[in-house]
């Protein structure tokens, strides 16, 4: 795009905290400090023959906003560098990214194995949407490696898992599932949204594709919707590029710019929120209103040993069950003074939700039960407010849940 392509990652091996701030940075002829937003849908050519050469792929340069944009390119390069992926493509939301990664490579007659505990829209895509086009699926307990093995069929093409999962924070053994996928020639796609690239590195554990909702920790300030797909150049060129170009779920350059700025503070935010989440998990576990807390780095988490190896901290999310069921859960939520009631997550603001009546409302009661979505379950996404303030707010709300 200009003659000043300054890619610091090419010069020195940089730590991820430096890449978060500088990866993919490309400056225009004005030498702006901050990444520029190129809010343009199209591009012009100096001559007809230049247009021809660009369309033939014989000259570098952009063609159309649905295919690529310089601001988006900076974000793609930064995200790929952070996760150690060959390349990255963006999409208009996390679900647009998940759907592209799942659907684009598959054909009628193919089979997908996925963890049962999934973000509800991911589950809809696998369970309701893809079967309309002849794609088969098996849902397994994602924490049970033997269940993944037993689900493999000759036509299994894709494994899909989310870890930690929504809302109960089950942790899957990514390396073991990746090994099974390799053994049967399937592709493992990991939804790494809950952990973020700061806490969990799926490619190092053998994943083939990683998907993100940039809406969550990456934007971090609750401003924009977006998604990203990371993987090999061959995967993108064969499957994802034609799908994204022709079906059109492009990310706005304005959104890409917000996410670039969000990434600059991602590791600070995730580390601070994780520290508060760990502290809150202990406070909530000790409170008489609670049955149990699920937090990946607490010793009472069912996959504690695995979570300790696989994730750098226990993450920014926790879930807990209140003894008084729905009534106690609502009393807790309504008593919060700082934490907001919201189904979003990964925000600088702490947010609490009651999955049974919101995010998991559409699931049949037996499915809710199977997923551990009890009437007293609260999911808390911990933000970056002062942790003492958060502890006081949550303790007071737990006291209200006891009454
Ligand atoms: C939010 C989320 C998604 C979907 O992302 P959107 O940006 O809301 O479309 C998918 N998976 C998980 C685990 C999520 O938390």
Q: Which tokens hold the place of 62?
A: 């952009």
Answer whether residue 1 is part of any domain. no
343 and 368 assigned to the same domain: yes
Average pLDDT over residues 182-194: 98
pLDDT at 144: 97
* Closest residue CA from atom 8 of ligand 1: 94
In the reported structure, the alpha carbon of residue 119 is separated from the centroid of ligand 1 by a whole-number distance in angstroms of 7
127 and 93 assigned to the same domain: yes
290 and 256 assigned to the same domain: no
Ligand 1 pocket: which of 116, 216, 228 to mutate (most atoms <8 Å of CB)? 216
Residue 76 has pLDDT above 90, yes or no: yes
Residue 6 has pLDDT above 60, yes or no: no
End-to-end CA distance of the chain: 63
250 and 335 assigned to the same domain: no
* Closest residue CA from atom 5 of ligand 1: 94
**Domain harbouring 318, CATH code:** 3.90.1150.10
317 and 244 assigned to the same domain: no
Answer whether residue 338 is part of any domain. yes
pLDDT at 97: 98
Q: What is the DSSP letter of 64?
A: B
Average pLDDT over residues 75-87: 97
pLDDT at 4: 45
Classify burial at 285, counting beta carbons within 10 Å of its beta carbon; exposed 0-12, middle 13-18, buried 19 or more.
Answer: middle
In the reported structure, the alpha carbon of residue 288 is separated from the centroid of ligand 1 by a whole-number distance in angstroms of 33
Answer whether residue 82 is part of any domain. yes
Residue 225, ligand 1, Cβ within 6 A:
yes
Q: Which ligand 1 atom is the nearest neighbour of the CA of 97?
A: 9
Mean pLDDT taken over the chain = 96
* Closest residue CA from atom 12 of ligand 1: 119
In the reported structure, the alpha carbon of residue 255 is separated from the centroid of ligand 1 by a whole-number distance in angstroms of 16
Residue 68 has pLDDT above 90, yes or no: yes
Identify the helix (H) or strand (E) that includes residue 235. helix 233-235
Q: Which residues contact 401 (CB under 8 A, 6 or more apart)?
A: 289, 322, 324, 328, 329, 331, 332, 335
Q: Are 200 and 306 in contact (CB under 8 A)?
A: no
**Domain harbouring 124, CATH code:** 3.40.640.10
215 and 292 assigned to the same domain: no
Ligand 1 pocket: which of 93, 95, 219 to mutate (most atoms <8 Å of CB)? 95
End residue of a domain, out of 239, 263, 287: 263
Residue 346, ligand 1, Cβ within 6 A:
no
Residue 399 has pLDDT above 50, yes or no: yes
Average pLDDT over residues 221-244: 98
331 and 208 assigned to the same domain: no
pLDDT at 206: 98
pLDDT at 13: 80
Q: Alpha carbon 358 to chain centroid distance?
A: 19
Alpha-carbon distance values, 47 to 1, 50, 53, 69 (Å): 17, 5, 10, 20
**Domain count across the chain:** 2
CA pair distance 232, 227, nearest whole angstrom: 17
Residue 5 has pLDDT above 70, yes or no: no
240 and 98 assigned to the same domain: yes
Average pLDDT over residues 182-192: 98
End residue of a domain, out of 237, 263, 289: 263
Percent of the chain with pLDDT over 90: 95
Alpha helices (H) in 8-56, listed in sequence order: 8-11, 16-22, 48-55
59 and 204 assigned to the same domain: yes
83 and 208 assigned to the same domain: yes
pLDDT at 7: 54
| 403 band by pLDDT with thresholds 50, 70 and 90 | confident
pLDDT at 11: 62
Residue 95 has pLDDT above 90, yes or no: yes
Q: Which residues contact 227 (CB under 8 A, 6 or more apart)?
A: 90, 91, 92, 93, 94, 95, 96, 97, 98, 211, 212, 213, 214, 215, 251
pLDDT at 2: 42
In the reported structure, the alpha carbon of residue 213 is separated from the centroid of ligand 1 by a whole-number distance in angstroms of 5
Would you say the pTM of this structure is higher than 0.85? yes
* Closest residue CA from atom 11 of ligand 1: 119
301 and 156 assigned to the same domain: no
Answer whether residue 6 is part of any domain. no
Domain with 288 in it: 266-402
| pLDDT tens figures, 101-132 | 999 999 999 999 999 999 989 999 999 999 99
Ligand 1 pocket: which of 93, 94, 256, 315 to mutate (most atoms <8 Å of CB)? 94
40 and 138 assigned to the same domain: yes
Average pLDDT over residues 66-86: 97
Residue 1 has pLDDT above 90, yes or no: no
| pLDDT tens figures, 291-332 | 999 999 999 999 999 999 999 999 999 999 999 999 999 999
Residue 389 has pLDDT above 90, yes or no: yes
pLDDT at 127: 96
In the reported structure, the alpha carbon of residue 95 is separated from the centroid of ligand 1 by a whole-number distance in angstroms of 6
Average pLDDT over residues 277-291: 98
In the reported structure, the alpha carbon of residue 8 is separated from the centroid of ligand 1 by a whole-number distance in angstroms of 31
Classify burial at 204, counting beta carbons within 10 Å of its beta carbon; exposed 0-12, middle 13-18, buried 19 or more.
Answer: exposed
End residue of a domain, out of 242, 263, 284: 263
Q: What is the DSSP letter of 343?
A: S
In the reported structure, the alpha carbon of residue 285 is separated from the centroid of ligand 1 by a whole-number distance in angstroms of 27
| pLDDT tens figures, 250-263 | 999 999 999 999 99
In the reported structure, the alpha carbon of residue 359 is separated from the centroid of ligand 1 by a whole-number distance in angstroms of 11
Answer whether residue 4 is part of any domain. no
| pLDDT tens figures, 37-60 | 999 999 999 999 999 999 999 999
Ligand 1 pocket: which of 100, 172, 193 to mutate (most atoms <8 Å of CB)? 193
Classify burial at 58, counting beta carbons within 10 Å of its beta carbon; exposed 0-12, middle 13-18, buried 19 or more.
Answer: exposed
Answer whether residue 382 is part of any domain. yes
| 3-state helix/strand/coil string of 255-273 | HHHHHHHHHHCHHHHHHHH
């Amino acid at each position: 795009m200009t003659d000043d392509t300054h890619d610091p990652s090419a010069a020195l091996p940089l730590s991820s905290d430096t890449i978060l701030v500088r990866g993919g940075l490309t400056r225009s002829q004005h030498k702006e400090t901050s990444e520029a937003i190129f809010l343009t849908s199209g591009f012009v050519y100096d001559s007809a023959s230049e247009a021809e050469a660009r369309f033939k792929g014989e000259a570098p340069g952009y063609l159309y906003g649905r295919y690529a944009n310089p601001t988006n390119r900076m974000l793609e390069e930064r995200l790929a560098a952070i996760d150690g992926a060959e390349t990255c493509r963006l999409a208009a939301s996390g679900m647009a990214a998940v759907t592209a990664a799942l659907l684009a490579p598959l054909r009628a007659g193919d089979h997908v194995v996925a963890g049962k505990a999934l973000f509800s829209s991911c589950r809809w895509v696998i369970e309701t949407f893809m079967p309309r086009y002849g794609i088969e699926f098996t849902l397994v307990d994602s924490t049970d490696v033997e269940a993944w093995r037993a689900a493999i069929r000759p036509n299994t093409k894709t494994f899909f898992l989310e870890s930690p999962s929504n809302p109960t924070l089950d942790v899957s053994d990514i390396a073991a599932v990746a090994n099974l996928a390799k053994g049967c020639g399937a592709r493992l796609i990991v939804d790494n949204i809950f952990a973020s690239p700061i806490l969990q590195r799926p490619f190092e554990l053998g994943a083939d594709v990683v998907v993100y909702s940039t809406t969550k920790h990456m934007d971090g300030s609750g401003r924009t919707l977006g998604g990203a797909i990371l993987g090999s150049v061959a995967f993108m060129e064969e499957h994802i590029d034609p799908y994204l170009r022709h079906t059109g779920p492009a990310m706005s350059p304005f959104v890409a710019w917000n996410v670039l700025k969000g990434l600059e503070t991602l590791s600070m935010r995730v580390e601070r929120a994780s520290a508060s989440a760990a502290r809150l998990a202990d406070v909530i576990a000790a409170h008489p209103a609670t049955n149990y807390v699920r937090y990946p780095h607490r010793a009472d988490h069912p996959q504690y040993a695995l979570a300790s190896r696989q994730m750098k901290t226990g993450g920014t999310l926790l879930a807990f069950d209140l003894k008084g069921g729905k009534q106690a859960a609502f009393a807790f939520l309504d008593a919060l003074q700082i934490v907001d009631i919201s189904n979003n997550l990964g925000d600088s603001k702490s947010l609490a939700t009651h999955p049974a009546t919101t995010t998991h409302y559409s699931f049949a009661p037996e499915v809710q039960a199977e997923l551990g979505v009890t009437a007293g379950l609260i999911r808390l996404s911990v933000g970056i407010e002062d942790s003492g303030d958060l502890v006081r707010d949550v303790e007071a709300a737990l006291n209200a849940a006891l009454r």
